[in-house]
Structure 1
Amino acid sequence: MVLIRDGEAGTARLRIAGDFSAVLDLVPDPGILAVDMPIGLPDRLLARGRGAEQAARRHLEDRQSSVFAVPSRDAVYCEDYSSACDVAFQTSEPPRKVSKQCFYLFPKIREIDGLMTPDLEMRVYEVHPELAFWRLNGEQAMSLPKKVKSRASGPGLDQRRELLVSCGYSPEFLDQKLPSGCGRDDLIDAAANALIAKRIHSGIAEPFPKDYQRDGKGLRMAIWA
């Protein structure tokens, strides 16, 4: 995760947290946590995903595929791929299974879902890096992909790095030697998400969609930017 003090990118620090509970227990309290994971899970998936995903995709042009559809809560809580596909198929209209890419994220989604409450929504907000870059780029989707054939793409990452520098990050911070388990794309995404946390703190971020719904636990289903 990237932490910025007083909303200033020049104060940025990189921090590795083992799990979501460790993030919630950070001292001092970051105030606003922008989380790049789905928050709020549908009981039944309709059309092309939650309203949050559909609203975000409308702005992303060629980057739409980076926003995947989250299946039902029952499907997310399946621990093997075959069962997850079966449950997702039964709880979606039109019926659809689960991509392997999405399935591999289920443990993290379950972890966050197990800890989130409506009260935590004053601190914790769902974000998405490509929607963050859209916002930071004057509401224009990035022209280059961040990944090509599931591998980080140098030109796409360089384009995003340049935008982040223009937003106040130092080149030294963005080019630092990274700890094990943290890729360059992870740092760049986290840096963009931290700027959305700043927007949320300032009261100028918007939810997508504006007329978001809540799930069975009372959690809002919205991506902020």
Structure 2
Amino acid sequence: MPAWVAGVDGCPGGWIAAFQALDDPSRVVVRILPDLAAICDAPEAPAVVAVDIPIGLPEQVGAGGRAAEQLVRPLLGPRRGSVFPTSSRAVVYAADYTAAIALARQPGLQPFAPSPPANAIFPRIRAVDGLLRTRPALRERIYEVHPELAFASLNGGVPLAQAKRKAGGMAERRALLRRSGLPEAVVAGPPPRGAKPDDLLDALAALVVARGIARGCGVSYPDPPERDAHGLSAAIWTLLPHEAPP
């Protein structure tokens, strides 16, 4: 049975997962699954799962977020705004957005209020955090990634000029995914029902990083990763530009 890896992104229908067989790069399967546990427990049983979601929550955090975000943001030029600062654990676990803002205003936790887009993914962050705390064996399989960092790495370390939802931005990203060796039918094809085109591209970018990690070509920011109070790794992974496919 071949070893598989997976790239994962959140989408309206749940989580979009792109699986690839390491011994046969032409075998790529894309589907929607309800949660990260279902992806890890899928028939492919991916050895590495690269997911676009913060992992490793700080008890306290500064204005720029975790070290991971502070290190990655300067690498992304015009795309730096896509890297939200991760809130403290207490704020992420607040009962609702009003409570999260109130907590953020208390001294000692963080000097910023969570933005609406950041608040929208808090349920996903909590779900992944809970999964890794209750199933510690998965900590060696699940890695945090950021699609814009992945695409910059595939582009030789140069951030992409156009936003991902613009036609030109999608064309840039598809070209890089083709160069990485992903099948044309997957790169150019429609996303499965429940996902948007940019969700598919982000999952495929995460997949390329997962493949690189499995082959020993991944790098983390910071290196070595930080650890949160529960021992979870707090780092964003990507490929070194010279390790990206030609």
TM-score under structure 2 normalisation?
0.84
Contact 1:126 / 1:223 at 8 angstroms: preserved in 2? yes
**Which of 163, 174, 183 is the matching residue for 1:145?**
163
Distance 1:121 1:144, change over 3 A: same
Detail structure 1 runs of 4+ shifted over 4 Å in the superposition.
Answer: 91-94
Distance 1:95 1:47, change over 3 A: closer
The answer for unaligned runs of 5 or more in structure 1 is 147-151
Q: Secondary structure at the match of 1:206?
A: strand
Q: In the TM superposition, what is the alpha-carbon distance from 1:177 to its structure 2 partner?
A: 3.0
Q: In the TM superposition, what is the alpha-carbon distance from 1:96 to its structure 2 partner?
A: 1.2
Distance 1:209 1:121, change over 3 A: same
The answer for unaligned runs of 5 or more in structure 2 is 1-16, 239-246
Q: Which residue of 1 aligns with 2:199?
A: 186
Q: Which residue of 2 aligns with 1:149?
A: none
Q: Secondary structure at the match of 2:177?
A: helix
Distance 1:165 1:92, change over 3 A: farther
Aligned CA-pair RMSD: 1.6
Which residues of 2 match residues 17-166 of structure 1 at below 5 A? 17-90=33-106, 95-117=111-133, 119-146=137-164, 152-166=165-179
Which residues of 2 match residues 188-203 of structure 1 at below 5 A? 188-203=201-216
Q: In the TM superposition, what is the alpha-carbon distance from 1:211 to its structure 2 partner?
A: 3.8
Residue deviations 1:178-202 (CA, integer Å, cap 9, x gap): 3322111011111111010011001
Letter in 1 for 2:100: A
Letter in 2 for 1:162: A
Contact 1:38 / 1:126 at 8 angstroms: preserved in 2? yes
Identity of aligned residues (%): 39
Q: In the TM superposition, what is the alpha-carbon distance from 1:176 to its structure 2 partner?
A: 1.9
Q: In the TM superposition, what is the alpha-carbon distance from 1:8 to its structure 2 partner?
A: 5.3
Contact 1:72 / 1:91 at 8 angstroms: preserved in 2? no
Q: In the TM superposition, what is the alpha-carbon distance from 1:79 to its structure 2 partner?
A: 2.9
How far apart are the structure 1 equivalents of 2:42 and 2:151?
26
Contact 1:44 / 1:91 at 8 angstroms: preserved in 2? no
Distance 1:78 1:130, change over 3 A: same
Distance 1:11 1:91, change over 3 A: farther
Is the strand fraction higher in 1 or 2?
Answer: 2
How far apart are the structure 1 equivalents of 2:41 and 2:64?
35
Distance 1:42 1:7, change over 3 A: farther
Contact 1:52 / 1:221 at 8 angstroms: preserved in 2? yes
Q: In the TM superposition, what is the alpha-carbon distance from 1:26 to its structure 2 partner?
A: 1.3
How far apart are the structure 2 equivalents of 1:42 and 1:91?
15
Letter in 2 for 1:68: F
How far apart are the structure 2 equivalents of 1:94 and 1:61?
25
Contact 2:49 / 2:143 at 8 angstroms: preserved in 1? yes
Q: Which moved more, 1:161-170 or 1:5-14?
A: 5-14
Letter in 2 for 1:190: A
Distance 1:131 1:176, change over 3 A: same
TM-score under structure 1 normalisation?
0.92
Distance 1:9 1:64, change over 3 A: farther
1:218 has 2:195 as partner: no
Aligned length: 220
